[in-house]
Amino acid sequence: MTTPRPLVRPARVLAAALAAGTLFATAACSGSDSSASPEADASSTVAERGVAAQTTSPSASSPSASASPSDLSEEGARNALITPADIEDDWTQVRDPSEWRDSLLVGSVDVAAFVDGRSDTQDCQRLVDALFDETLLGKPTGASAVTGFQQGDSRLLYQVAAYDKADLDDSMQWLSELPDTCDQFTLTGGDAGERTVQVIETSLPQAGDNRQGLTVTVKGESNGDPVTLSLDVAVVQIGADAITVTNGGLDGADHDTTSAAVEQGTQRLQEVLAGRTPSPTPSGIN
């Protein structure tokens, strides 16, 4: 007596179903849209956005894999700027800090002219050209806002801006290499003669997605008198947006003020990017 055939067919059907399941799983792993379920599509999109936020060279053929542009608005950039209360001490907000790029008179020394010179190294030239400019990270491609403060012989320039993500990543990499490529170099030209410039790396509070701190010291003469200019340079990146701080003067750089600007400024920018308006910083912050 032979075994009834109906008992064999379910096994074949099950094997075929298992094979089909394996095929669909393989297709999903290979990124085939035609075999992915709606749930898988949603998960893939979320994953791609996460990868896109971290990559500097997305595939041009896949729009979902490209870095998301900044959502920072002009109003948001202004709201993200720090206030005198954020950095305490006796800092006074200035009317138009963009004027500093042309002339920054501190006592009898024009600090802007003091750092105006030529370097034989392109990376070092880029640094000194942007110390009192708003182009340290390159030209913003979106919203941008700037403010400035002064206290005695010290000046603080603060910027919030949106950039092309890939360009911003490149700028952050350039800054991280400056302590090696521009650890010490000479500026020539201008009325100040030869000046010696030193660049060292400094620590910053753990803030944002990426950060870089530098102290730049320029030594030379102005009007026959020895001059030493010390500046903190601090940058914090959040996606395609960044805050930039340049702080210091002829009396040295106040690292505590730089740290406060970084901490308070990063918090304000994060609140703006989350769709909130930062509350006024109360005086007497810790």
pLDDT of 40-95, one tens digit each? 343 333 333 233 333 333 333 333 333 567 889 999 999 999 999 999 889 999 98
Cα–Cα dist 29/36, whole Å? 9
Q: What is the pLDDT of residues 88-133, one digit of tens each?
A: 889 999 988 877 766 677 777 888 888 889 999 999 999 999 988 8
Closest CA to 223 of 254, 251, 259, 250: 250
Helix axes 122-129, 165-181, angle to 10 degrees: 110
pLDDT at residue 169 tops 70:
yes
d(Cα 258, Cα 118) in Å, to the nearest integer?
A: 27
List domains and CATH numbers for the chain.
74-274 (3.40.1000)
